[in-house]
Structure 1
Amino acid sequence: MVGVETDTATPTVYDRYDTESIKKFRENGWWQDSSAAALLDRWADTTPTRRFVSDGTTELDYATVRERAHGLAATLAHRGVRPGDRVAVQLPNWAEFVISYLALARLGAVTVPIMAVYRHAEIAHVLRNSGAVAAITTGTFRGFDHAAMFRALQVEAPALRTLVIARGEAAPGELTFAEATATVPGPDELGPHSDPDTPHVIVYTSGTESTAKGCVHTWNTLDFSGRGLAHNVFQLTAEDVMFMPSPVAHATGLVVGVLVPLAVGAETHLLDVWEPNEGLRRIEKYRTTATATATPFVRMALDAAPEAKRDLSSMRFWLCAGAPIPETLALEFERTFTNGVLMPLYGCSELMAATCCHPGDPIERRAGSDGSPALDGIRIRLVGPDGEVGPGEEGEITYSGPGAILGYWREPERTAATIDSGGWHHTGDLGRFDADGYLRVTGRLKDIIIRGGTNISAAEIEGYILAHPDVSQVAVVAYPDERLGEKACAIVVPVKGAAPTLKDITDFLRLERRIVTQKLPERLVLVDELPMTATGKVQKFRLRELARGES
């Protein structure tokens, strides 16, 4: 049975932050008395005919989005959805996702976004953990029947009473998205806007290492990143068009693809299936100006650009997350996107934006670091076994500021293991600061090979191997060794037409990079592609199985 787990008290900002911190956040304007629905009202009143969202098949202005969001909110309320209830939304990058999110925000319900690639097992966990009472999904998308899956889950999850189907057929008792958004709410039926300090969204982690955790964000913790990125990093205006091929049902896509343009009354253009030629076509057609994706998207776009021959002059800003930006990639980007720059960002579902480079940072900074604290109000501290470490020393990256989650939904033990008594969020990532306060993420606490008692950073070795001319992508993982405990295995995606051997790689590392013998990989596996989560993170647990010869 999926069922509903026993409720625990809903986390509050006072569980997470002390009174002085909350006061400081408000005095500095990092937290405000607003809401996503109030922002929608603002733009629908002042610029009603400005296009807000497009997805290649649908184009909606601000007034129409509000009308449909309010209709959906009223329909869900009639079906018994109340403020604080959780509602799962599994939709591709379509306008219906934006409408659904804003409808739930207006109702005061909690959006539980689920990426379109997730299937029964992952969604069962999300439904069980969140206790969702309704779901908004689609019919058949990319050959998979999402509606049928939710019907099967509904049998196991009695709390899941309502299904809304977008771009698909509704079964008896269900609602199509069109009819659900057609309701006209009565005067004051939707009530006041929701409290910006109550749970607003629960974003589930991508599960690269363990069971996905539900990251509880308020409107204020999300808006801090969205509004801050819009004004201080993207420097967006209402004339900009955000391009979003990353899933809007996860952290990067939701914040950058929805909240950032909403902050300034701009437009967002969504792409439901990433294919580089189609992505470049959309950039040209919709004159998009900014985006944020995982690093592999950039590589694919650059590879496709010469043959595509598209006008990419509108793009001025591409925020890049999930992997370092080699200087060669940054230079190639600027040759292809002649008016644009490639900027690194480091963050996660728990914190959204933590560090990034900013307009004016030279290419050496953008290629040589993951930036400095992204926004005013963020503090980053690196901690070693004996406390805070100084410049040049490696330590765990910890975060303090207005953008962190309240905790993990219904998981107090995991919350307590992540957020210390001083309120610092421990990311599990390792990094080093340079003398100027720029961070370089160097790996993960769990992303270490312990060879004969020596800790070896997988990310460090990956950086060395990536410089080999025959290597396109690489991930380094541990595999067990009876004598040494662990050894390093390099999983390599070779450059097209190349087939490097283990000796090729180790000779390069020893002679060209001059690294110590203990850091050389002792096993090599060539693959066509690295297994990724939908947000572009390498699934290292799958690679460990491959390194052990289990798959």
Structure 2
Amino acid sequence: MDFDAVLIAPRRAASIAAGHWQDRTIHDYLAACVRDRPDAPALTALSIDRQHVTRFTRRELARMADRVAVGLSRLGIAAGDVVSCQLPNGWHLSVLYLACARLGAVLNPVMPIFRERELSFMLAHAQSKVVVVPKLFRGFDHAQMLRGLRDALPALRHVVVVDGDGDDSFEALLSGPHWEDGADAAAILQRSRTGPDDVTQLIYTSGTTGEPKGVMHTANTLFSNIVAYAGRLHLGGDDVVLMASPMAHQTGFMYGLMMPVMLGAHAVLQDIWDPVRAAALIRDEGVTFTMGSTPFLTDLARVVADSGVPVPSLRIFLCAGAPIPGALVEQARQALGAKIVSAWGMTENGAVTTTLPEDSDERASTTDGCPLPGVAIRVVDGTDTDVPVGETGRLLVRACSNFGGYLKRPQLNGTDADGWFDTGDLARLDADGYLRIAGRSKDVIIRGGENIPVLEIETLLYRHPAVAQVAIVAYPDARLGERACAFVVPRAGQSIDLDGMVDWLKQQKMALQYIPEKLVVRDALPATPAGKIQKFRLREMLVGDAGFI
């Protein structure tokens, strides 16, 4: 595929001159790891779903990456091709990325929660040639789902099944045969490796304009962020990084897959969030750093406090995805003995702001941090004029890690000639330059760190025979930050209840996590004179005197 990453070339000279783009790829970092300490632990993957632990040294990880790369080439994968995977956190996903980069191919990780509706768009848009899925994950048959989609995906050549029992299994096609020992292996592994400005990752954001957008990143954009991030948090080769946040999101991919390789650190992966197992992993593996959204922090702090068994190795828990309540920072600090760092970022940039480990604990609950090195931010009004300190405006970001653009949608890139990217979020800055996200101009609900595509769900509900009008808004939740509530006006003579709404959305193959968890039926919805639904008033109803919560 020809990737239209139009935002890369105009920035190259300045980014190189400033030292932000160092022209190093994942191969350079992995080769250094193997050269320096080949038998040091590189990757430990716990599969709670399969009750199994897999371990790789640096040498073993590099060898498996070679093996899978040659196996992919046997399936017809070459430079510029897209390999999609719908995998939980685990060694297969990590190795796939390393293998794709060896071929100049692009990895497209997609969330395991996605079903036919989301996948049919993403895989067709990306023109994916190979898709790797688990046979079963959390009781769902992903292989059967993908086979059912094949006829609608003309570019798709192979569905490869992890733990499959046929000729299409990951083990039979990729990880079993010693492909790396073939006579042509060396040539395959060297002829078209991903360069620092080639697209290496394609990752989809939840759509707010009717469809998801494919975010294109290169080694330079990704590593320019990771280097700054690790430097601020004082992370190095002696650290052990636990990643239970999904690696199909930037959080897991950048800081659980790429960062440990860059640092020469030990990565510990967990496929299903279980705070009891996470606490045990931290103790058993000597984990020093982890990150996740607020529910992860809440759960881990509670488990450690209730058990009375400490996690002394843990030094930093970075929390992002939603504001951290002050009480939680205090409770987690006490229970875990770790510094709680808050952060904010986007798929398009990675982390944009973080608090510093040297900051007071209060900073983590009252701000989302200050910009990382290589990042500049502005808060502006409707005329793009900077607003005074403390006032709310639109958040613009100019970063060394800014993405290459949206695949096949350059008109949506949202980046001006001076490199300022319009995040679509509202924010304010304090006198010290610390950011606080104040809301979203995009109509998205963030449930446990997962963006819910409101417009898409509303569109589906409008097709329900009983629905005349619908609006979906967020309501606060102590654990997940937000949940979704659907306000519905039924058609004359029709009725709808929560079970009926949920069943309808399931029939449309909507991801379960996207389905609203509350339904309010009304005779009418508040609207402007022009007929636009006033969602702010619906939110007020949910938390105000109407008593719905």
Specify the code of the residue in structure 1 equivalent to 2:526: D
Match of 1:377 in 2: 374
Task: Find the aligned partners of 2:310 and 2:444 in 1 and give their Cα distance.
Answer: 43
The one of 110, 113, 133 aligned to 1:114? 110
- Aligned to 2:28, which of 27, 30, 38? 38
Structure 1 residue 448, shift from structure 2 partner: 11
Moved more, 105-114 or 132-141: 132-141
Whether the aligned pair in 1 keeps the contact of 2:208 and 2:444 (CA below 8 Å) is no
Q: Secondary structure at the match of 2:272?
A: coil
1:28 positional shift: 2.6
For residue 72 of structure 1, report the CA deviation from its aligned partner. Answer: 0.9
CA distance in 1, matches of 2:480, 2:75: 51
1:179 partner letter = G
Could you say what secondary structure the match of 1:525 adopts?
Answer: coil
Aligned match of 1:497? none
Aligned runs of 1:127-206 on 2, under 5 Å? 127-171=123-167, 175-179=172-176, 182-185=179-182, 186-192=185-191, 193-206=193-206
SS at match of 2:117: helix
Match of 2:144, SS state, is helix
Does the 8 Å contact 1:369/1:439 carry over to 2?
A: yes
Q: CA deviation at 1:207?
A: 4.1
- The answer to whether the 8 A contact 1:227-1:259 is kept is no
Of 53, 58, 73, 2:69 maps to 73
Letter in 2 for 1:284: R
Give deviations 1:245-268, integer Å, cap 9, x for gaps. 001121100011011111110011
Greater mean deviation of Cα atoms: 183-192 or 77-86 = 183-192
**1:361 shift after superposition:** 1.0
TM-superposed deviation, 1:17: 5.0
TM-score normalised per structure 2: 0.80
- Aligned equivalent of 2:313: 314
Picking from 5, 11, 36, the partner of 2:4 is: 11
Q: Secondary structure at the match of 1:163?
A: strand
Offset of 1:223 from its aligned partner?
Answer: 0.8
Name the counterpart of 1:264: 263
Q: Which moved more, 1:340-349 or 1:156-165?
A: 156-165
| TM-score (norm. length: structure 1) | 0.80
CA distance in 2, matches of 1:478, 1:351: 31
Contact between 1:139 and 1:146, CA under 8 Å: does it hold in 2? yes
In the other structure, the counterpart of 2:511 is: none
| Aligned mates of 1:325, 1:66 — CA distance in 2 | 38
Structure 1 residue identity aligned to 2:175: A
1:310, CA displacement in angstroms?
Answer: 3.0
Aligned CA distance change for structure 1 residues 311 and 195 (closer, same or farther; 3 Å): same
Q: Following the alignment from structure 1 to structure 2, what is the Cα–Cα distance between the partners of residues 152 and 181?
A: 31
Match of 2:282 in 1: 283
Question: Is the Cα–Cα contact under 8 Å of residues 281 and 310 in structure 1 kept in the other structure?
Answer: no
CA 1:438–1:83: 2 relative to 1, 3 Å: same
Partner-residue secondary structure (3-state), 1:189: helix
Q: Given the superposition, is the C-alpha separation of residues 525 and 446 from structure 1 closer, same or farther in structure 2, using an over 3 Å criterion? A: farther
Native 8 Å contact 2:160 2:168 kept in 1? no
Aligned AA for 2:382?
Answer: P
Could you tell me which residue of structure 2 aligns to residue 224 of structure 1? 224
Show structure 2 runs of 5+ residues with no match.
47-52, 446-472, 488-524
Residue 538 of structure 1 aligns with which residue? Answer: none
1:29 Cα deviation from its structure 2 partner: 2.2
Q: Distance in 2 between matches of 1:270 and 1:342?
A: 20
Distance, in Å, in 2 between the alignment partners of 1:475 and 1:120 is 23
C-alpha contact 1:70 1:181 (8 A) present in aligned 2: no
Contact 1:490/1:524 (8 A) holds in 2: no
**Distance of 1:438 and 1:172 partners within structure 2:** 51
Give the aligned partner of residue 481 of structure 1.
Answer: 526
Per-residue deviation at 1:423? 2.2
Deviation at 1:307, TM superposition (A): 2.8
SS in 2 for 1:188: helix
2:132 aligns to what SS in structure 1? strand
* C-alpha distance in 1 between matches for 2:82 and 2:152: 17
| Residue number in structure 1 paired with 2:513 | none
How far the C-alpha of 1:136 sits from its partner, in A, is 1.8
1:184–1:136 CA distance, 2 compared to 1 (3 A):
farther
Q: Distance in 2 between matches of 1:473 and 1:32?
A: 37
Matched to 2:270, the amino acid is: L
Q: Does residue 1:341 correspond to 2:342, yes or no?
A: no
The alignment covers a number of residue pairs equal to 470
Contact 1:344/1:357 (<8 A) preserved: yes
In 1: Cα distance, 2:232 partner to 2:480 partner: 33
User: Does the aligned pair in 2 maintain the 1:51–1:59 contact within 8 Å?
Assistant: yes
What per-residue deviation string (whole Å, max 9, x for no partner) do you get for residues 7-26 of structure 1? Answer: 7x5224xx31564x422211
* 8 Å Cα contact 1:256/1:291 also seen in 2: no
Secondary structure at the aligned position of 1:297 is classed as: helix
Q: State the secondary structure of the residue aligned to 1:428.
A: strand
C-alpha separation in 2, matches of 1:179 and 1:483: 62
Task: Give the Cα–Cα distance (whole angstroms) in 2 for the partners of residues 181 and 247 of structure 1.
Answer: 30
> Contact 2:526/2:537 (CA < 8 Å) preserved in 1?
no
What secondary structure sits across from 1:53 in the alignment? strand
Aligned AA (2:42)? F
Give yes or no for contact 1:383–1:396 (8 Å, CA) kept in 2: yes
Equivalent residue runs for 1:145-544 within 5 Å:
145-171=141-167, 175-179=172-176, 182-185=179-182, 186-192=185-191, 193-207=193-207, 210-233=210-233, 235-338=234-337, 340-374=338-372, 376-387=373-384, 388-415=386-413, 418-446=414-442, 480-481=525-526, 486=534, 488-490=537-539, 521=544, 523-526=546-549
Taking structure 1 as reference, are residues 177 and 75 closer, same or farther at Cα in structure 2, changes over 3 Å only?
A: closer
The 1:329/1:172 distance shift into structure 2, 3 A limit, reads closer
Q: Which has the higher contact order (CA 8 A, sep 6+)?
A: 2
Is 1:123 the equivalent of 2:119?
yes
Deviations 1:77-132 (A, max 9, x none): 12211111111011111111111110001111000001122112111111111001
Partner of residue 81 from structure 2, selected from 72, 85, 94? 85
Deviations, residues 430-475 of structure 1 (Å, cap 9, x unaligned): 00001111110000114599xxxxxxxx99x96xx97xxxx99556
Deviation at 1:420, TM superposition (A): 2.4
Conserved? CA contact 1:52–1:61, under 8 Å? yes
Q: In the aligned structure 1, how far is the partner of 2:528 from the partner of 2:95? A: 58
Deviation at 1:164, TM superposition (A): 2.5
By how many angstroms is 1:490 displaced?
A: 4.9
CA distance in 1 between counterparts of 2:368 and 2:168 reads 51
Call closer, same or farther: CA 1:172–1:104 in 2, change over 3 Å.
closer
Partner residue, 1:545: none
Q: Which amino acid aligns with 2:343?
A: L
Is the 8 Å Cα contact of residues 72 and 174 (structure 2) preserved in structure 1?
no
Contact 2:239 2:288 in 1 (8 A): yes
Match of 1:25 among 15, 18, 35: 15
- After superposition, what is the alpha-carbon deviation per residue over 1:60-82, rounded to whole angstroms, capped at 9, x for unaligned? 01111111111111111122111
Give structure 1 stretches of 5+ with no counterpart. 1-6, 450-457, 493-501, 506-520, 527-551
> How far is 1:364 from its partner?
2.2
Cα 1:420/1:27, change in 2 over 3 Å: closer
Task: Give secondary structure in 2 for the equivalent of 1:58.
Answer: strand
Hey, what does 2:499 align to over in structure 1?
Answer: none
Aligned-partner Cα distance in 2 for 1:146–1:171: 16
User: For residues 138 and 298 of structure 1, do their structure 2 counterparts lie closer, same or farther at Cα, with a shift above 3 Å needed?
Assistant: same
| Offset of residue 522 of structure 1 | 5.0
